[in-house]
Amino acid sequence: MADNTSNPFPTTSIYPLVPVRDMAAAVEFYRTWMGRDADIVVEPTMQEWQLAPGMWLQVAEKRETAGTSVIRIGVDDVAVARTSLVERGLDVDEPVDYFGVVRVADFRDPDGNRFSLVQELT
């Protein structure tokens, strides 16, 4: 893991925004993925799920940019995380190892926003 001590602005959290066309369909997908309702409903067209302390996924109705996000999510074990999502009804690709460094399994939301479950192997 990188040394964050020389960072000119120490980071405490991250809030990637996922643009979607249809908020109702998106909420259903993310509710299925997370296994719960949104942690925060900012407004009818924006909801947030906390993935871990300091890590929030914002889902917002933004039709003009829907489907353009690519978000990588670090997990301890890709196979376990993938199985959990498949059991919830999500379509997740089989894991692929890249250069003995990472194992990755991709999936998409209804708008085509791409997510990768990533496990460090080294």
For each of the domains in the chain, give its residue range(s) and CATH number, in order of start: 17-120 (3.10.180.10)
Q: List pLDDT tens digits, range 28-78.
A: 999 999 999 999 999 999 999 999 999 999 999 999 999 999 999 999 999
Distance, in Å, from the CA atom of 68 to the CA atom of 81, rounded to the nearest integer, reads 23
Q: What percent of the chain has pLDDT over 70?
A: 96
Q: Taking all residues of the chain, what is their mean pLDDT, rounded to a whole number?
A: 95
2 pLDDT more than 70? no
pLDDT value, residue 10: 81
Is residue 60 a contact partner of residue 20, using CB atoms and an 8 Å limit? yes
Report the pLDDT averaged over residues 104-108: 98
pLDDT value, residue 3: 61
pLDDT band with cut points at 50, 70 and 90 for residue 1: low
Distance, in Å, from the CA atom of 95 to the CA atom of 57, rounded to the nearest integer, reads 23
pLDDT band with cut points at 50, 70 and 90 for residue 9: confident
6 pLDDT more than 90? no
DSSP state of 104: E
